[in-house]
A = this chain, B = another copy of it.
C-alpha cells in the first residue's frame, strides 16, 4: 500500500527508471528484498507494497529474477559512480582515501536496504545476470585498489588492506538501523578517519 522511498545522498539513484510503476516496483523490491531476503520475499509482497495485484507486476518485469537483476545493477552502478565522483579533483593520496571511504560508507548507510541486496544476494542472481554484476564489482574494486596503491609497496599488503577497509563500509549494510545508528555523514567521516589510521602503519 505505502510506497517507501530509499533516499540517496546523490538523489539520482532511481532516475534511470521512468517515473511510474516500473520505478515504484524497483524501489519496493529493494525495500522488501533488503528486509526479508530475496527468497523469503514473494512477488505478492512487492505488488502489495505498491498497491498492485500480484499479476500487475509482470506487465513491467518479466520475472522476479529480472527485478533482482535490475535493482542490483542500479545499486552497483550507483556505488561506482558515487565513489568516482567523490574522488574528482582530489590528488593527495591521503585525501583520496578519506574521500573514498567516506563516500562508500555513507552510501551503505543511506541505502542500507539496497546495500544488503547488492552485497548479500549475489548468489541469488541468475548466472547470466551475475556476469554483468561481477563486471561492475571488478571496476569498483579496481578503483579502490588504485586509491590505496600509493600507500603500499607490495601487492599482498595492498590487497589485504583494501579488503579490510571495504569490509568496514560493506558491513554497515548488515547492522545499520536508521534512528538507532549514527547519522550517515557522521559515520562516514568517522570511518574515513579510522581508515587513515589503519593505513598509517
A residues sitting closer than 8 Å to B (CB atoms) are 35-37, 39-40, 119-120, 123-124, 160-161, 163-164, 167-168, 170-172, 174-175, 182, 187, 190-191, 193-194, 197-198, 200-201
Contacts and interface: CB of A to CB of B under 8 A. Distances in A.
A180 to B, nearest CB: 11
Contacts of A168: 164, 167-168
A76 to B, nearest CB: 16
- Residue from A161, A170, A171 whose CB has the most chain B CB atoms within 10 Å: A171
Nearest to A119: B174
Nearest to A191: B164
Contacts of A174: 119-120, 167, 170
Contacts of A40: 39, 123-124
